[in-house]
Amino acid sequence: MKMGKNKKVKVLFVCLGNICRSPMAEGVFRQLLAEHDLSHRVQVDSAGTAGYHAGERPDRRAQQATRRRGVDISRQRSRQVRRGDCAEYDYILAMDEWNLRDLQRFCPPEHRHKIRLFLDYAPHLGVSEVPDPYYGGDRGFEHVLDLIEEASQGLLQTIRRDLDVDGGY
């Protein structure tokens, strides 16, 4: 999907409660964009398919894990996916099959082509889902960050091609 010179690409990361995986992905990808001087061309947000934690900060363990890698997600606030997100965002990236199915049911048919699994951008990993670390220990959050960092690189490559920035990589 090639974008015009002044068009902004919009990316939405989605998990269940928007307190672990999707805010971590938002923070990591936002930092990656800054490192590649693309923050002005790409808008990033995250949301949950459920509104259990609406208005809350990311899970303390998610904040600690990302902070150890130089990413601050402490200012983010959880929100539930809104109907308007389906039209507004160019990439709607689910962390797992469950949330993918929920998004496909939620979004109107004309926007379903935007919905994918986030790990589709890291096929070399051999896994399709980012596991929910909520009920696990600290190692689970580190593993999730490893997956997010890999998929973020693949997503960045795709978006660079869309924006025709140095022809991708």
Q: Which residues are catalytic?
A: 15, 21, 132
Paired residues of 12 in beta bridges: 45, 92
Q: Indicate the residue type of 167.
A: G
List the one residue out of 36, 60, 56 whose CA is nearest residue 47.
Answer: 56
How far is it, in rounded angstroms, from Cα 103 to Cα 3? 24
> Parallel, antiparallel, or unpaired: how do β-strands 42-48 and 115-117 relate?
unpaired
Which positions ≥6 away from 145 have C-beta within 8 Å? 24, 28, 65, 66, 69
Q: How far is CA 146 from CA 19, 72, 98, 124, 140, in A?
A: 17, 16, 21, 13, 10
Q: How far apart are CA 98 and CA 128, in angstroms?
A: 12
